[in-house]
């Protein structure tokens, strides 16, 4: 894991961006993703619960000259373990159903990703080939990305999707200027998730959320707070407010309710 202190010393923001494949199904795609990454200057690959062996002969054949990326890929059993330490996360999806969005295109978001990657670790999530990322897997994301395609066939092969996004990241990095203002440090993934768990518990307690479907409103709240790019101090202040509201809900006079 790249430490926050060492991130500021990086000359190339692409070095601080991880491509995260969640439950990839085919070894060939993992190899092809490695090649796409190396073509565009990225090097950190994270695999979450891969279905097939990422070091199989097929994977190595598809990786060709990018086998080094494949061989040093980090393997994790669950997304929450893979995302520890990251401070900005984006998820990709071609499905724009209810409780999803707003979505943004790679060309629109990649300059912001490069700006964040100058100083903090960034993760970009891709889902399995058949169904993509679930709502729960998209929940921690600060931004949701969709790749525009023709209406005759909207879905992309996993490696193709990674290539297109990495291409836009590479183009954005070419126009990156070290003299541009540095974006504020953002809170780590686990601190943000702790804040959301605290908020959900509080809102259930005061009757704001539907106990049968709390995620519906929590999804909206995640999008609101995600756009705010919360820092460690922001999270600490919000959790202080939550604790005070909890105290008030516990100690106020029942007749006032």
The model's confidence at residue 56, banded by pLDDT at 50, 70 and 90, is: very high
| Residue range(s) in the chain whose domain bears CATH number 1.10.8.590 | 189-256
Rounded to whole angstroms, the Cα distance separating 134 from 143 reads 15
pLDDT for the residue 155: 83
Q: What pTM does this model have?
A: 0.77
Write the pLDDT tens digit of every residue in 131-187. 899 988 998 899 999 999 898 888 899 999 999 999 999 999 998 665 555 566 788
User: Does the pLDDT of residue 217 top 90, yes or no?
Assistant: no
pLDDT for the residue 8: 40
pLDDT for the residue 101: 67
- Stretch (H or E) spanning 61: helix 57-63
The model's confidence at residue 63, banded by pLDDT at 50, 70 and 90, is: very high
Fold of domain 4-174: Alpha/beta knot (3.40.1280)
What would the mean pLDDT of 25-52 be, rounded to a whole number? Answer: 97
pLDDT for the residue 121: 95
Contacts of 256 (CB under 8 A, 6+ apart): none
Write the pLDDT tens digit of every residue in 88-107. 999 998 877 666 667 899 99
Percent of the chain with pLDDT over 90: 53
Q: Is the domain 189-256 a CATH 1.10.8.590 member?
A: yes
Peptide bond into 109 cis (omega under 30): no
Q: Are 192 and 235 in contact (CB under 8 A)?
A: yes
Q: Are 168 and 107 in contact (CB under 8 A)?
A: yes
Q: Report the Cα–Cα distance between both ends of the chain, in Å, rounded.
A: 49
């Amino acid at each position: 894991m790249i430490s926050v202190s060492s991130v500021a010393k990086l000359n190339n923001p692409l070095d601080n961006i991880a491509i995260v494949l969640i439950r990839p199904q085919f070894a060939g795609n993992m190899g092809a993703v490695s090649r796409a990454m190396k073509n565009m200057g990225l090097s950190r690959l994270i695999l979450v619960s891969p279905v097939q062996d990422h070091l199989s002969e097929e994977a190595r054949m598809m990786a060709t000259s990018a086998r080094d990326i494949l061989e040093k890929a980090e393997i994790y059993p669950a997304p929450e373990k893979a995302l520890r330490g990251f401070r900005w996360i984006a998820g990709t999806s071609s499905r724009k159903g209810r409780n999803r969005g707003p979505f943004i295109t790679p060309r629109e978001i990649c300059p912001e990703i490069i700006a964040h990657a100058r100083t903090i670790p960034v993760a970009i999530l891709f889902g399995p080939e058949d169904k993509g990322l679930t709502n729960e897997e998209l929940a921690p994301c600060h931004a949701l990305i969709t790749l525009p395609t023709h209406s005759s066939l909207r879905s992309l092969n996993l490696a193709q999707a990674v290539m297109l996004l990495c291409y836009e990241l590479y183009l954005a990095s070419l126009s990156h200027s070290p003299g541009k203002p540095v974006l504020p440090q953002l809170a780590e993934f686990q601190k943000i998730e702790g804040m959301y768990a605290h908020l959900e518990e509080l809102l259930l307690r005061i009757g704001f959320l539907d106990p049968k479907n709390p995620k519906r409103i929590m999804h909206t709240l995640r999008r609101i707070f995600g756009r705010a790019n919360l820092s460690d101090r922001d999270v600490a202040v919000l959790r202080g407010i939550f604790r005070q509201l909890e105290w008030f809900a516990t100690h106020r006079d029942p007749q006032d309710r």
